[in-house]
């Protein structure tokens, strides 16, 4: 089983590395010091299991796990943390186990066995079914997969999100990227930041400068950083006008 360790403390990584060396059938494919490194390493090495610290700088372990849930194939996640206060959030992020530091060898062995069961179910059914991933806390980034690598897009840099077939195009400060998430799930998670202007488009509230009527009678939203106004559907006009009043 291929394993990745993600922890910002070198001594914690060393202890896990030593414990894994005592376990049969384990290949340590990479180590990472934070969530961003962990996501890039997972895109490169495709581990079966990620041993993931929660309190890390930048993208923490909980958000990292939410991104990993969208990976294909999806790795199993086991949290390793010095605190037990995050247990509920960990399982909401679809972790298969939760280890409290210092990690005991017998608990690690049990977690590895659960990871093997997870991987077997994933390989047998095409996807593991450990329940729906719920976003109790908003992510700070969106994750775009790019030919085996990935790009992390800060949410505050996103101008608008537009559905195109099975993808969503993220229009952001540095260009455009495709993500494989539904517009509906993004609206549910980030409804306080984005407003729907059309069945296929969510716009960052702070990006809306004004609403104007086009020569053909359709209402359009003028964006702070948009090259062209975006069409507003009739069913969204009334709510959007009310929203703009309070911006």
Residue listed under structure tokens 């949290």: 79
Residue 201 C-alpha from the chain's centroid: 20
| 170, 207: one domain | yes
pLDDT at 156 over 80: yes
Percent of the chain whose pLDDT exceeds 90: 77
Range of the domain at 96: 2-125
| 106, 165: one domain | no
Residue 118 C-alpha from the chain's centroid: 20
Concatenate the DSSP letters of all residues of 167-204 into one string. Answer: EEEEEETTEEEEE---HHHHHHHHTTTEEEEETTEEEE
Number of domains observed in the structure of the chain: 2
| 221, 187: one domain | yes
| 121, 179: one domain | no
Query: In this predicted structure, what is the pLDDT of residue 124?
Result: 59
User: Is the CA virtual torsion 22, 107, 73, 52 positive or negative?
Assistant: negative
Size (the chain), residues = 247
Residue listed under structure tokens 């490194």: 37
Question: CA 75 to CA 131: how far, in whole Å?
Answer: 14
Q: Is residue 65 part of a domain?
A: yes
229 burial (CB, 10 Å; 0-12 / 13-18 / 19+) is middle
Each residue of 94-129: pLDDT tens digit?
789 999 999 999 999 999 999 999 998 876 554 444
Average pLDDT over residues 63-71: 92
CATH of residue 106? 3.40.50.2300
pLDDT at 132 over 50: no
Question: CA 224 to CA 222: how far, in whole Å?
Answer: 7
Among the residues of the chain, which ranges form H helices?
Answer: 10-21, 35-45, 61-68, 87-92, 105-125, 183-190, 234-245
Query: In this predicted structure, what is the pLDDT of residue 247?
Result: 74
* Contact status, residue 6 vs residue 35, Cβ threshold 8 Å: yes
Please write down the long-range contacts of 238-242, taking CB distance under 8 Å and 24 or more positions apart: 239/195, 239/196, 240/195, 240/197, 240/208, 240/211, 241/211
Q: Is residue 201 part of a domain?
A: yes
Each residue of 169-199: pLDDT tens digit?
999 999 999 998 999 999 999 999 999 999 9
Query: In this predicted structure, what is the pLDDT of residue 245?
Result: 85
CATH of residue 199? 2.40.50.1020
| 109, 167: one domain | no
């Amino acid at each position: 089983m291929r394993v990745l360790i993600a922890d910002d403390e070198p001594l914690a990584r060393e202890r896990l590395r030593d414990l894994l060396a005592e376990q049969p059938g384990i290949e340590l494919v990479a180590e990472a010091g934070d969530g961003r490194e962990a996501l890039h390493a997972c895109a490169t090495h495709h581990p079966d299991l990620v041993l993931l610290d929660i309190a890390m700088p930048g993208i923490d372990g909980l958000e990292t796990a939410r991104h990993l849930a969208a990976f294909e194939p999806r790795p199993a996640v086991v949290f390793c943390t010095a605190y037990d206060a995050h247990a509920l959030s960990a399982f909401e992020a679809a972790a298969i186990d939760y280890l409290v530091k210092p990690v005991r060898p017998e608990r690690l062995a049990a977690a590895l066995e659960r990871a093997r069961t997870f991987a077997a179910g994933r390989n047998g059914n095409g996807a593991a079914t450990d329940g729906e991933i719920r976003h109790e806390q908003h992510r700070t980034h969106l994750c775009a997969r790019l030919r085996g690598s990935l790009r992390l897009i800060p949410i505050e840099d996103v101008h608008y999100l537009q559905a195109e077939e099975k993808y969503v195009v993220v229009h952001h400060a540095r260009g455009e990227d495709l993500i494989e998430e539904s517009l509906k799930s993004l609206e549910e998670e980030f409804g306080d930041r984005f407003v729907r202007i059309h069945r296929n488009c969510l716009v960052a509230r702070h990006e809306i400068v004004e609403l104007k009527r086009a020569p053909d009678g359709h209402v359009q939203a003028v964006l702070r950083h948009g090259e062209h106004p975006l069409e507003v559907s009739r069913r969204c006009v009334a709510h959007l006008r009310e929203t703009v009043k309070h911006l």
